[in-house]
Structure 1
Amino acid sequence: MSGDESHVPTPEHPGRPRDEVHALPSYRPGRDAAQAERDHGITGAVKLASNEMPEGPIGAVVDAVTAAVTGVNRYADHRAGTVREALATRLGLGAESVTVGNGSSGVLQQIFQTYVARGDRVLFPWRSFEVYPIYTRLAGGEAVTVPLDARLHVDVDGLIAALTPDTRLVVVATPNNPTGTATSTADLARLAEAAGMGTIVVVDEAYREFDDRGDDAVRDLVGTYPNVVVTRTLSKAQGLAGLRIGYGIGHPAVIGDIDKVALPFAVNALAQAAALAALDHPEEIAERVARVVEERIRVESALRESGWDLADHRGNFIWLPTGADTGRVALDLERAGVVVRSFGDEGIRVTIGTRAENDRFLTALAGVSPTG
């Protein structure tokens, strides 16, 4: 079908967008606290909807960004070369194995642009990160999904069984967003082996710092499987969500291809300065991550004591399996001043915030009837 057939231009909607764009759902971010306050006539709402770090940036990041502001009349380094080198040194790799982009979502979009053409199959578990089907449809590809298992873990055997010669991309988030479960690198190695060199296997590790199992996809996979690309971000653990900087790690030839579709100057000067400062202070970042993990464990324990059957979470969030009551429970929580992220009739994702914010969530949830 052509754009001419799918959309008739009108004064209210001029132009002929591509079919893939015209039918595409927009990405839906988590609502913010100010929106909830306006909608419900409340004050003091807290946002636990977007998996952000509850603490502001570390002092070194603030200083670096403040210093970099005076130079924003100049373009930043298009390749973010200094950041690449800093990441490569930390990872024990050459800089040619690292790319830097506008958040890991930006790096993921580059990967889809590089490898997916009309009719190509893209394989991923579901439910998972919502940009995967969006990026697939935008490229004209065919999304092939494999359900999570009964405990909300990725079904690696199911993914392997779904591989075909037309599969160009496989994407697995670990920990998985929004369910929080993690996949072992041993299982991911089986997947990469089965996929073969004609299929790129993307391991999306946006939340890896919160996963203390010891698995490391870069260490365990990249050097052995040239078809594996790992994506990571500085938005979560490093607290740079508002600056948008992420990175990808893989075989130099693959990274070179991904770089070809990068938006010019996509990573701004402030983001690059902040990234370097954060990378220079790993101990301070690790302390903040430890506080979040400690709170996650505390919240999980409280919920299990209240009767919730929870998955094994490894990110900075928890998943409540609210089923058909999802919309109502999320709305009741929001009316109580706690903004969370709902997913259809499946469940609710709740970001781990400060201790006070988490206590407020637990109190609000206790006041919500589980059955309506």
Structure 2
Amino acid sequence: MMAEDDPARFLCLLDELKTSRELLKSGFGHLQEIDMGNTFYHLPHQLLASGFERLMKCYIAVVHKGRDGAYPDRRAMQSLGHDLEGLLETIRTKYYGGTQRPLLQQDLAFIKTDSVLNDCVRILSLFGKMGRYYNLDVVAGAHHEPMDPKDEWEALESRVEDPTPYHGDQERLYRDYYPRVNSALIAKMERLVRAIAMQFTLGGHADAGGEVRRLSVVYQKFRNIRDDQFGTVDYRRSVEILRGNADQWIRRSYHEIAASGWPSLAVTKAEFGDEWPFRDDRVTVECRDGLFCIVNIGGYDFALNGAARSRFGLPFAHDAGVAVLGKSVGPFIEVARGLSASRCQPAHPPPF
């Protein structure tokens, strides 16, 4: 039987679930901004820890309602605590359904065994419990051993990808290492979010009142992420701002590029044969004065290297969101430099 205040509780749960989604998206976006010039991990950690806690508690609450006919009471909600590891274990062992489906079986195994995901959850959990006020705990002479989440996260980054090959090359460190590491970590967390989102629709949970079904729309976009899209979604607010100024970008047609006299080459995803970093399937690479490497994507010019950015004020392809974070444009810099060395003739016009 439905309690009189159930509609109000549902609306609060809906609002909380939407809040969790926005916190996670913002947390992923701020994590994508981390590089050698921005090591402010506290903000993405704060956002992600809060987002995951709210998501997992909302999910547990609505499944509990379907099973028992009532939402968890205050004592039950408080007993869940702030331990993300504990919350995830509760979901995995008590609230995870639909395991007859191969995809959900695979996600359950991933949640249980993936060491990188488990480290992400562990660090965010420790951040929520002990790391938020690490500096103040040290100042106050805390009796427990303070945990610095920044150090823990940087150690995790090094386990995901060894930074040693990037030392001594600041441009590659900025362009390749941090985006690659952040992409790998976000991919793991996105899969966890998708796994929980899948439970709203495929978990086979009791749902006499339809609450589980109605809440499922909140995480629809996460639920629809394909495996090959993990780590490729751009959540950065800075990209939205930069795209808002697209009318100030330099626009050139293919024929204008060919007529410029600088060596250029059209490259397609189909013929490239390696990891393709751009969101368009066709780009034109250009090199000016043997130094300034430029790529034209969708009719707009973007910088491939720092020299082109400084000289012409072009945005980097990754910063504009037209290249996928974690996928290097380094090979295209080499293509551009090779054009200059060989003075390759401008590419043939496209057949369209």
Which bracket does the TM-score occupy, shorter chain normalised? under 0.3
Structure with more helix by fraction: 2
Which fold has the larger relative contact order, with Cα–Cα distance below 8 Å and residues 6 or more apart in sequence? 1
Find the structure with the greater CA-based Rg. Answer: 2
Instruction: Give the TM-score of the pair, scaled to structure 1.
Output: 0.25
Instruction: Give the TM-score of the pair, scaled to structure 2.
Output: 0.26
